[in-house]
Amino acid sequence: MGQPPISDYGFLSDCRSGALVSRDGSVDWWCPGRFDGSAVFARVVGPQAGHFRLAPIGAGRPGHRVERAYHPDTLVLRTVHHTPEGSVAVTDALAAEIGARAHQLGMNSPAVLLRVVEGLSGRVRMALEYVPRPAHGLLTPYLHDQSDGTVLATAGPVVLVLGASGLSLQAERDRVYQEFEVSDGQVVGIDLAYGEAYGTPPVRLDPLMTLAETIQAWEAYRETHQYPGRYPELVRPSATVLTGLTYARSGAVAAAATTSLPERLGGDRNYDYRYSWLRDFSMTLRALWVAACPHEASRLFAWVTRSIGRIGDKPVPVVFGLEGERDLTEHECPHLPGYAGSGPVRMGNDAWCQRQLDVPGEIMSAVWRLRDYLGDTFDEELREMVLGLTEQVASTWRLPDRGMWETREEERHYLSSKVLCWAAMDRAVRLADRLGGRADPRRWAVIRDEIRDTVLREGWNDRIGAFTGAFGSTELDASALFLPVVHFLPADDPRMRATIAVIERDLSTEGGLIRRWNTDPAGFVLCSFWLVECLVMTGEQRRAEELFERVSGYANDVGLFSEQIDLITGAQLGNTPQALSHIGQINAAWRLTDPSAF
């Protein structure tokens, strides 16, 4: 369909919003207000939905070569274009606040996109093409030339100001197109500032000074925590991606920066991942603690407890908005055809109102993981949350639900959901001495053991010789690899060994990727890293290392993973960058470092 592959995109973040920039220099996605806000560039899901391209004229012709890399421990992306006429570097970033350091990163981000062009050799003619289309492409703004050489764009609630040092920009009706030359040693700084029509106006910043400040802010952040384990050259960039997906104001971690990038080209499993999933909570917390920063792990925990509020009769939602919003009602955008024509494009995610029984188990596992940090006696709100979740599981674990993969078909008794119900009750029993007089560990232990017996009886399929995805099902599901990770069964238990072997036989690919189920047309990155952990826990360290390195090789040239990998082409599929894929890599690397961890 003429669109760049998903793996062509680099990720920019100011810990408030995210942008995607392609290898050919086009910013095709940016939601400047916040990750789950409205995009001013959305060409990744619609050709006419706005973009901002900056590249040599004739890019892509013979003799044009691109190299790119992040400045170490940052999400500041430097792309070098080698052309027959010379070489030029374009450095892209979302600006940090001037003076922000370490944990201040993202707290007051100014919502400015920086693009700095530097001539390296020869003379290279560049083209700047700026086509803003706010509201995911629904709005075409008025563009106004300003006396200082900038261009003002206004449409609906959005105000944008585009400026460039040494250039006097001029609008052509609804876009800016300008050519200019850069020679060896010449630098042109470009800034695009976002503001609100009826609120905070755009704040213009000096591009060169702000870029230097932004690099320092990222570097200072990474200096707050040094990863001590194996594969630091892979883990540290993944930890930086997780930081970039963290909404600094609340501490929530977005599942991805994008919406509706398809799990299969031409398919309709295209969902909005710009929110924070509680189902991923324990895994995310573990990765943050190991590889990013304990401070961020504690902030994420505080966000979850605040977002949940007092536990009532209704199940805790699996997903929240980045400031704890519950109602994420989904709607389709018929004006957007979707990536490579793979519609529909969705905003919002109706998973928020599904019943997913695994959520309390994830939260309780996180509480157990942080028990030493949380103290010998829990405060009232934490105690009420743990007690409420425990009693909710005790009364609902027998119900069917939508499962870990959030099926939109009928509810079933999913294995992974029941196992996490067991995890919730198991952690509650272990935490009982911190919960005050209302704790009932004897009764909880009876329920825990009943759940375990039910899973072992109903989840195992003799004909398949493995645990399957749902009670009574003959369909394999890679989520069974999660059982040893949550300590439901040791990986060397005969039933677990058999399950691992069957999953490897029937769900793995030549490249080491693991599909979620037999009909899944793509490998799922997280499940592949779960298999690495299982192999470590069965004592197969060397095989685990080989698999880890093969799966890690599916990242793009700047170390980013989307959600899935096409089995035939090796192309990335799904929303990007995908937090769970990077979380899986971090946790697998730490398991390889310390097989007894967690």
Helix (H) or strand (E) holding 298: helix 294-308
Token pair listed for 110: 């100014």
* DSSP three-state, residue 445: helix
User: If you write DSSP's letter for every residue of 346-387 in order, what string do you get?
Assistant: EES-GGGGS--TTHHHHHHHHHHHTHHHH-SS--HHHHHHHH
Residue 370: pLDDT over 80: yes
What's the per-residue H, E or C state across 513-557? CECCCCCCCEEEHHHHHHHHHHHHHCCCHHHHHHHHHHHHCCCCC
CB–CB of 250/129 below 8 Å? Answer: no
Percent of the chain with pLDDT over 90: 89
Q: Where are the alpha helices (DSSP H) in 397-540?
A: 415-431, 441-458, 482-485, 494-507, 525-537
Burial 382-401 (b: 16+ CB within 10 A, else e): bbbbbbbbbbbbbeebeeeb
Res. 58: pLDDT tops 70: yes
pLDDT at 598: 65
Q: Which of 329, 331, 321 is nearest to 276 (CA)?
A: 321
Position 1 scores a pLDDT of 44
**Residue 485 is assigned to a structural domain of this protein:** no
Taking 80 as the threshold, does the pLDDT of residue 320 lie above it?
A: yes
Q: Cα 497 from chain centroid?
A: 31
Residue 116, domain member (yes or no): yes
Backbone angles phi, psi at 123, to 5 degrees: -130, 125
SS3 68: strand
11 touches 20 (CB < 8 A): yes
Of 282-296, 320-334, 340-354, 540-554, where does mean pLDDT reach its minimum? 282-296
Q: How far is CA 503 from CA 190, 508, 516, 534, in A?
A: 51, 7, 9, 11
For the whole model, what pTM was predicted? 0.97
Kindly state the average pLDDT of the residues 102-117. Answer: 90
Digit-coded pLDDT (tens) for 284-308: 999 999 987 788 898 999 999 999 9
Expressed as residue numbers, the domain containing 133 is 6-222
**Looking at the domain assignment, is residue 23 inside a domain?**
yes
Q: How many other C-beta atoms are found inside a 10 Å radius of the C-beta of residue 201?
A: 12
Dihedral in degrees, nearest 10, Cα atoms 526, 289, 292, 41? 50
In a domain, 515, yes or no: no
Q: pLDDT at position 527, please?
A: 98
| Burial of 182: CB neighbours in 10 Å, binned 0-12, 13-18, 19+ | buried
Q: Give the HSE-up count for residue 584: Cα atoms under 13 Å, Cβ half-sphere.
A: 31
pLDDT of residue 382 exceeding 50, the answer is yes
**Residue 356 predicted with pLDDT over 80:** yes
The domain spanning residue 203 has which CATH number? 2.70.98.10
Sheet holding 572-573, edge to edge: 522-524, 564-566, 572-573
Q: Quick one: pLDDT band at residue 226, thresholds 50, 70, 90?
A: confident
Which residue is listed with tokens 């919406």?
259
Q: For residue 113, is it within any domain?
A: yes
Residue 74 CA to residue 114 CA, distance in Å, equals 14
- Count the domains in the chain: 1
Q: Is 464 helix (H, G, I), strand (E, B) or coil?
A: coil
Is residue 360's pLDDT more than 90? yes
pLDDT on residue 597: 77
Cis geometry, peptide bond prior to residue 84 (ω within 30 degrees of 0): no
Separation in Å, CA 202 to CA 128, 192, 498: 21, 9, 59
Stated length of the chain: 598
For the chain, the straight-line distance linking the first and the last C-alpha, in angstroms and rounded, comes to 45
What's the mean per-residue pLDDT of the chain?
95
What distance in Å separates the CA atoms of residue 422 and residue 455, rounded to the nearest whole number? 9
Residue 245 C-beta-side C-alpha neighbours within 13 Å: 31
Q: List the one residue out of 468, 465, 488 whose CA is nearest residue 476.
A: 468
In a domain, 128, yes or no: yes
Distance CA(92)–CA(74), nearest Å, equals: 11
Over residues 87-112, the mean pLDDT reads: 91
**Residue carrying structure tokens 């700084």:** 189
Residue indicated by tokens 């993973």: 561
What does the pLDDT average to over 312-337?
Answer: 95
pLDDT digits (tens, 9 = 90+) for 449-471: 999 999 999 999 999 999 999 99
Q: What is the DSSP string of 210-238?
A: HHHHHHHHHHHHHTT----SS-HHHHHHH
- pLDDT tens for 200-216 read 899 999 999 999 999 99
What is the C-alpha R_g of the chain? 25
Give the H/E segment covering residue 297: helix 294-308
Q: How far apart are CA 552 and CA 525, in angstroms?
A: 9
Region 245-255 average pLDDT? 96
Q: Which residue has the tokens 């949350």?
A: 385
pLDDT tens track for 148-200 = 999 999 999 999 999 999 899 999 999 999 999 999 999 999 999 999 999 98
CB atoms within 10 A of CB 458: 17
Please state the three-class secondary structure of 156-214 as a single string.
CCEEEEEEECCCCCCEECCEEEEEEEEECCCEEEEEEEEEECCCCCCCCCCHHHHHHHH
